Amino acid sequence: MPDYLKKSFFINSFIITIIFSLDRISKFYIILKSETNLSSSLFTSKFLNINLIWNEGIAFGLFSFNENYLYNLLTILIVIVIFIILIMIIKSEGFKRYALSMIFGGAVGNLYDRIFYSAVPDFIDFHIKDFHWFIFNVADIFITIGVIIMILSEFRGNKLKNEVL
């Protein structure tokens, strides 16, 4: 049986599909609520606000550009990185593969928005008094979790290598 039809292929496809779907549903809901409320501020509490903003940059609004050619160049670079992640998913095993699948699912969700909206809707705003973290979305959560798992697996892998030596 070809590698791409193994059990791990279906598990990874399921992870990617669930993450993409959760991201799309949450963004659709927030955009719809924002349009019906005629306001980007949808919820406010002591530590969490739900405010819709349109992010034209990359992670957490970094590298936002007003120039179309820079935005398009950034989008092309993101497509290349997503393709590289896909290759890494195919070549990896275990938790690394699942972590890369989380990153891939979130990245594809945000790429979808970049292509169809020319910006990514971000809406989760954690804060403590006047200190606000970057506003993010569901895709960003899974990208971050995937990166953390990758980092931890590298530390674990390096620790095992050092123990063997």
Q: What are the catalytic residues? A: 122, 140
Length reported for the chain:
165
Of 145, 144, 123, the residue nearest 134 (C-alpha): 123
Helix, strand or coil for residue 18? Answer: helix
Four-CA torsion 115, 144, 89, 149, nearest 10 degrees? 180
Q: What is the DSSP string of 31-43?
A: HHHHHHHTSSEEE
Of 99, 107, 104, 100, the residue nearest 137 (C-alpha): 107
